[in-house]
Amino acid sequence: MNRRRFLGAGLASLGAACGVPAARTTGAPRPVALAGERLAALADVRRLVVERADPLHGRCRYVAHLGTRQAAQPILLARRGERFDAVIENALPQPTSVHFHGLTLPEAQDGAGFDPIAPAERKRVRFEVKNRCGLYWFHPHAHGFTAEQVYGGLTGLLVVSDEDDDALDAELGLAPGNRLALAIADARVAGGVIGPYAPGVEDCLHGWLGNRALVNGRLDARWTVASGWVRLQILNACNARGLLLAFREGETRVPFHLLGTDGGLLAAPRELERVFLYTGERVDVAIDVSGRRALAAVSLEFDPRHHTGDAAPRHRHPAREQYAPLAAVTVCEAAGAAHDPLADGAELPLFHLVLEGGANTKPPPLPQHLSALPSATAFADAPTRRLRLDFDERAGFLIDQTPYRIEDNAFSVRRGAREVWEIKNSPISMPHPMHLHGFGLRVLRRRGTYGAARTLATEPGGRLATDLGVKDTVVVWPNETVWLALDFTLPDEAAFRGAQRYMLHCHNLEHEDGMMMRNFTVL
Ligand code: C2O
Ligand code: CU
Ligand code: CU
């Protein structure tokens, strides 16, 4: 061993001993067209600080410490196979955790909230990115605090790239700046100021809705792009609002191509005019902007089919009672006429793309093969597990009539097992974006779908175009039954040994902090 390597190894073990990750650099290629000042390599993050930046309104942020520089609210980039090894520091006045939504992680690194980080405490988190290219994200997940903290601004993006991703960018001939990773949230804004999280009983039942879109934390967000293809990876980071995403120039609808979903690229693109994007879901789309001047991204008006009674129970979280809200303006008192929300399903402007003058050449054709994604057919003999989504007059929305309890285990599955999950939503209900930790899933079919979702069900089995990809979050509409294919194979590595607990929950964050969540164990 030469002296340099010896020193390197020595420092690395020293780092491990005192809980500080050793310095490292990464040389892996990055998506060159991806725009943004806040880009940082996942592998370069040494500390991730979760802090409250504005105590008056309860605005919070992630700050990544990268050795020589810091990035607030970073967009993290990783190559499939790269590692994260950082200390997460909780500088909030409440418990928190950092859950990496969509990634295949062992329980200890998943940040699901079994083991939240107390204020002023820290936790070292290490993992390898196993997942396909796509847009993943990280957010708080301490039960009872999730909705308030995510609304406070704690949403981080993670763009994973691989060879399929490189090939796609090359075939699209993306100009620098023509690829964006976007988190769309909504906030209650009055006089240009984002109001505090202050849910009343209605908000606890239907979810906390805003009146303005915040894209990557900004109101009235706009990006300048060049002629040709634009590739957008978009996350719905709202607490509760469903989006029906479309693009317009003036009054004209501009079609786009769906390239991918939550867990990466489709086998082949699909041309669409609008797409549902519920909370926690992601889409990857390409738009040809040649010959255009400006595009508006909007959420179109739709009927979200809320059919609930007005019983609106509030949940008590014993853990919450020890901590004050994030905003000095207090929870429940601040909600007033000045911060009236926009109804779910109402039209909402999201962001703008402005074309830069210049060459207006025809872009290359869209590739017809995006990834080697097999069709989800090998599940014919898999046993079916039935799950029911119901409204309970006393407890609100529940999974299988059972309010969440952190110590409960709803069921166990063997690792490597294949199952079909049949999730049935009651007719007296609302759309529930159901999310599973740890595993990507495939949608096999849908039945009993009504309203706008039915008109978009253009694929075999009553599915929507977004059902063709790998998903981790799937909307189940009122009265609908959805069949999902699940493969509980875990990586054969030490980190995944032993029983691993994961969660299934509604990603409407008021429902999640309510009781619409269950734990399950992979043995
Ligand atoms: Cu995005 Cu369990 O969460
Ligand atoms: Cu998750
Ligand atoms: Cu729900």
- What DSSP assignment string belongs to 370-409? ------S-TTTTPPEEEEEEEEETTTEEEETTB---TT--
**Tokens encoding 324:** 């004050």
Report pLDDT for 10.
Answer: 33
**Tens digits of residue pLDDT in 237-292:** 999 999 999 999 999 999 999 999 999 999 999 999 999 999 999 999 999 999 99
Nearest ligand 1 atom to the CA of 101 is 1
CB-CB contact of 227 with 364 (8 Å): no
- Ligand 1 near 139 CB (within 6 A): yes
Q: What is the 447 CA–ligand 1 centroid distance (Å)?
A: 25
Q: How high is the pLDDT of residue 399?
A: 97
Please give the pLDDT value at position 59: 97
Residue 226 beta carbon below 6 angstroms from any ligand 1 atom: no
Tell me, in angstroms, the distance from the centre of ligand 3 to residue 41's CA: 34
| Ranges in the chain, pLDDT < 70 | 1-29, 309-314, 329-339, 358-360
Q: At 429, which amino acid appears? A: S
123 Cα to the center of ligand 2, angstroms: 19
Distance 68 CA to ligand 2 centre (A): 31
Quick one: pLDDT at residue 236? 98
> Is 435's C-beta closer than 6 angstroms to any atom of ligand 1?
yes
CA atoms within 13 A on the CB side of 296: 15
Separation between Cα atoms, residue 395 and residue 15, nearest integer Å: 47
Expressed in angstroms and rounded, the spacing between residue 153 Cα and the centre of ligand 3 is: 21
C-alpha 299/C-alpha 283 separation (Å) is 14
The residue nearest atom 3 of ligand 1, judged by CA position, is 101
Residues 156-192 as b/e (b if ≥16 CB within 10 A, e otherwise) read bbbbbbbebbbebbebbebbebbbbbbbbbbbbbeee
Q: What is the token pair recorded at 155?
A: 């949403």
Say how many Å lie between the CA of residue 510 and the centre of ligand 3: 8
**Ligand nearest 506 Cα, by number?**
3
Residue with tokens 């690792």: 415
- What is the whole-number distance in angstroms between the Cα of residue 80 and the centre of ligand 1? 21
Ligand 1 pocket check for 99: Cβ under 6 Å = yes
Atom of ligand 1 nearest to the CA of 139: 1
| pLDDT at 64 (0 to 100) | 97
Determine if ligand 1 sits within 6 Å of the CB of residue 79. no
What is the layout of strands, in order, in the sheet containing 83-91? Answer: 70-72, 59-65, 47-54, 83-91, 122-128
Nearest to 58 by CA among 202, 193, 180: 193
Residue 92 C-alpha to ligand 1 middle, in angstroms? 19
Q: Is 102 in the pocket of ligand 1 (CB under 6 A)?
A: no
**CB of 111 closer than 6 angstroms to any ligand 1 atom:** no
Closest ligand to the CA of 143: 1
Residue nearest atom 1 of ligand 1, based on CA coordinates = 101
**Structure tokens that stand for 176 in this block:** 């620098």
505 lines ligand 1 (CB under 6 A): yes
Cβ(207) – ligand 1 distance below 6 Å: no
Task: Quote the ligand 1 centre to 503 CA distance (angstroms).
Answer: 8
Query: Measured from the CB, is residue 280 less than 6 Å from ligand 1?
Result: yes
For ligand 1, whether the C-beta of 282 sits within 6 Å is no
> Which one of the ligands is nearest to 504 CA?
1
Q: Is the CB of 101 under 6 A from ligand 1?
A: yes
- Give residue 404 CA to ligand 3 midpoint distance, Å: 13
C-beta neighbour count of 362 within 10 angstroms: 10
143 ligand 1 Cβ < 6 A: no
Comparing CA positions, the residue from 102, 197, 158 lying closest to residue 509 is 197
CA distance 55 to 62: 15
Question: How far, rounded to the nearest angstrom, does the alpha carbon of residue 36 sit from its chain's CA centroid?
Answer: 19
- In this predicted structure, what is the pLDDT of residue 156? 98
Does residue 503 have its Cβ closer than 6 Å to ligand 1? Answer: yes
Q: Which of ligand 1's atoms lies nearest the C-alpha of 437?
A: 2
The whole-angstrom separation of Cα 401 and Cα 421 is 17
Q: Residue 317: what pLDDT? A: 79
- Beta-carbon neighbour count of residue 27 at 10 Å? 7
Residue 100 C-alpha to ligand 2 middle, in angstroms? 6
